[in-house]
Amino acid sequence: MKTALDTSVILDVLTADAVWADASESALKLALVQGPLIIGECVLAEITPALEPAELDQFLKDWKILFLPSTHESARDAGHMYRRYLLRTSKKTRVLPDFLIGAHAQFHAGRLLARDRGYYRDYFSSLTLIEP
């Protein structure tokens, strides 16, 4: 089964985050055993500054992380969920990339490895969330 990855989990490993690195690495390893790991445009763009170009390609290859572009449907769904968010809350703390990542995961994998703070559960209820 495919697992989409959120930026936070990858950056935990790349930056050797003091709190999350071990848990995120273990979760990545377990997800990889269960099937392909995928990322879309937003995650690729967000992890790119952490590495040099050759290092980025090698990291993705080493972890067998596949780039799978978004579709028209997943991008449209992200926009719908973002509109719901904007209408529901006066706190505009989430940004569109979070919704693009959630919709990409929902359409292309059905599950997402992420340190969820509630918004994936709130807006992508059919998405299976895996937390490190």
Residues 6+ apart with CB under 8 A from 37: 2, 3, 4, 5, 28, 31, 63, 64, 65, 66
Average pLDDT over residues 111-117: 87
Q: How many domains does the chain fold into?
A: 1
Say how many CA atoms lie within 13 Å of 130 toward its Cβ.
26
d(CA 18, CA 91): 29
At 99, which helix (H) or strand (E)?
helix 96-108
Query: pLDDT for 70-109, tens place per residue?
Result: 999 999 999 999 898 888 877 776 678 889 999 999 999 9
pLDDT for 117 equals 67
Residue 66 sits in a domain of what CATH number?
A: 3.40.50.1010
- Angle formed by the axes of helices 7-14 and 21-34, nearest 10°: 120
Average pLDDT over residues 46-50: 95
Which of the pair, 119 or 128, is modelled with greater confidence? 128
| Residue range of the domain that includes 12 | 3-130
pLDDT band at 39 (very low <50, low <70, confident <90, very high): very high
Q: Which parts of 15-118 fold into alpha helices (H)?
A: 21-34, 41-47, 53-62, 72-88, 96-108
User: Residue 50 above 70 pLDDT?
Assistant: yes
d(CA 114, CA 95): 16
Please state, as a whole number, how many other Cβ atoms lie within 10 Å of the Cβ of residue 52.
9
| pLDDT mean across residues, the chain | 92
- Angle formed by the axes of helices 96-108 and 72-88, nearest 10°: 130
User: Residue 11 above 90 pLDDT?
Assistant: yes
pLDDT for 55 equals 93
pLDDT for 121 equals 84
